[in-house]
Amino acid sequence: MTQKIEVVTSVLKANDAIAAENRKRMEAAGILALNITSAPGSGKTTLLEKSLPLLGDPERCAVLVGDLQTTRDAERLCNAGVRAVQINTGRGCHLDATQVTKGLDSLDLESLDYVVIENVGNMVCPAGFDLGEHKRVVLLSTPEGEDKVAKYPTLFQPADVILLTKVDLAEILEFSPETAKSDLKQINTRAPFIEVSSKTGQGIDDWIDWLKAVRAGLYPA
Amino acid sequence: MTQKIEVVTSVLKANDAIAAENRKRMEAAGILALNITSAPGSGKTTLLEKSLPLLGDPERCAVLVGDLQTTRDAERLCNAGVRAVQINTGRGCHLDATQVTKGLDSLDLESLDYVVIENVGNMVCPAGFDLGEHKRVVLLSTPEGEDKVAKYPTLFQPADVILLTKVDLAEILEFSPETAKSDLKQINTRAPFIEVSSKTGQGIDDWIDWLKAVRAGLYPA
C-alpha cells in the first residue's frame, strides 16, 4: 500500500506542475479559466449551452469537455455557438492537467476570454486534480437531494461558486435549498450560492454577472 | 506510467481474491449478495428503504452502505427496519472487497437471506471492483438524462439488472425510456430493464419479484 501512495503522490505533483503551466499560458492570453465539476446529469452542459452565449461574443468562449465516451456534449456546445473540444478519458474518472494542455494546444488562446473546462461527471475524483483553472465551479442539482453537500465535502469545500441547478424542480422534489446552505456553512463560507434553472432562466443573469466580475477582477481594464 | 499500471493491476488482483472469499462466505449462509451502483442522488437508498421491507422478513436483509462521509444512509435504512452497516471511504470513490469483508464480519450471516452492498455514488470507479456480489444492480434516474448509458458504458455493460428510477418525473423532464433502452441494446442485451418510482410504487413489485427469482435460482428449495 505504501508503494501505491507514493505513486499517487508523484502523479499529483507532476499534475500540479503541468496545471501551473496551463494557468500561465491562459493568463498570458487574458483568459479566465474555470473547472466545472458535479455529479453526472446535474446539468453542466445545459447550463453552458444556455449561459455562455450571454457572456458576449460566444466565439470568445471555449469549452474543453471531458467524458469517458462519446462526443455528444461537444456537439451540443458547438451548436450553441461556442468552441468545444471533446476529451475522452476512456475509463478515467476525472480530467488531468496533461489532457487540458492538449486541449489548449488545439485552440487559438489569443482569440479567447473564457476557457471552461467541463470535468467528467463525478463527485469524487475530479476534486483532487488542479487543471490550471482560476476558479472552481461546483453544481448541485435538486434531484440529487440536499444530503450531497455533507456526503461529498471534498467536492464542495474547494468550490469558488456553487450553483444549485434545476431549481424549477425544487418544489415537486421537496428540495430545501436552506438545508443545503446550512450544510455548506460547515465546510465553505466563501463561495456564493446561486440558484439557477436552465429551463426557466432563473438565476442565469447572476451566474453571468459573477463570471464577468471575476474576469474583470483578474484583468482590470 | 508503466509503474502506475502495474500497481493498479496488483491491487485489482488482490481485490478479486478477497471478493471471491466474500462470495464463498455468503454462499455458505445461503445469501444472495447484490452490488448496487449509480450516480450520486439517483435514489439507491430510497429504493432500498421502500423495497427491502417487502422482501419478507426485513430482519433477514442487511445493507452495507458506502459513502465518503456521514452515517445518514445507514440511519435511514435502520429506520426502515433492515440491518445497515455504514462504511465511510474518506476520499475513496468506490468500495473495495476488504471493506466489504469488514462489514460482513459485523453481521450474523446465518440470520440473513440478502446482503445488499450500496456502493459510493459514482458512475466510474465502482465498475472495476468485484466486491463478492452475485449480481450487479445499476440505477439510472430520469433527471440524469438518457445520454448517460452511452457516456458511461463501463457501468452499464456488466449490469445484471438496470432500474430506471424516478419514472414519475419522466414526463415533466421529457425523458425518453426508449432512447435509453436503444442505447442499452448496443452494450448490454441480457439485463432486464425495470422502470420504478419509489414515490408512486410503480415497478417496485417487479424489482422484488426479480430479487426473489434470482435468490431462488441460486438456492433451489
Q: State the pLDDT at residue B6.
A: 54
User: How many Cα atoms are found within 13 Å in the side-chain-facing hemisphere of B129?
Assistant: 27
State the average pLDDT for chain A. Answer: 94
Q: DSSP H helical segments within chain A, as ranges? A: 2-28, 44-51, 72-79, 97-105, 148-151, 153-156, 170-173, 177-187, 204-218
Q: State the pLDDT at residue B74.
A: 95
Determine, for residues A68 and B169 on separate chains, whether the beta-carbon distance falls below 8 Å: no
Going residue by residue through chain A, which has 221 residues, state the pLDDT in tens, using 9 for 90 and above. Answer: 344 455 666 777 899 999 999 999 999 999 999 999 999 999 999 999 999 999 989 899 999 999 999 999 999 999 999 999 999 999 999 999 999 999 999 999 999 999 999 999 999 999 999 999 999 999 999 999 999 999 999 999 999 999 999 999 999 999 999 999 999 999 999 999 999 999 999 999 999 999 999 999 999 98
SS3 B197: coil
Q: State the pLDDT at residue A10.
A: 75
Give pLDDT tens digits for A154-184: 999 999 999 999 999 999 999 999 999 999 9
Residues A168, A171, A175, A181, Cα dihedral to 10°? 70
* pLDDT lower than 50: segments of chain B: 1-4
SS3 B165: strand
What's the grid cell of residue B52? 427491502
pTM of this structure: 0.91
Chain A residues closer than 8 Å to B172 by CB: 169, 172
Q: State the pLDDT at residue A221.
A: 82
Partner residue opposite A68 with nearest CB, options B121, B145, B151: B151
Note the Cα A52 to chain centre separation in Å.
13
Q: What is the ipTM of this complex?
A: 0.86
**Which amino acid type is present at position A210?**
W
What's the grid cell of residue A115? 476557457
Partner residue opposite B91 with nearest CB, options A69, A122, A154: A154
Determine, for residues A40 and B148 on separate chains, whether the beta-carbon distance falls below 8 Å: yes
Determine, for residues A122 and B166 on separate chains, whether the beta-carbon distance falls below 8 Å: no
Partner residue opposite A151 with nearest CB, options B69, B147, B153: B69
Chain B residues closer than 8 Å to A124 by CB: 68, 91-93, 120, 122, 125
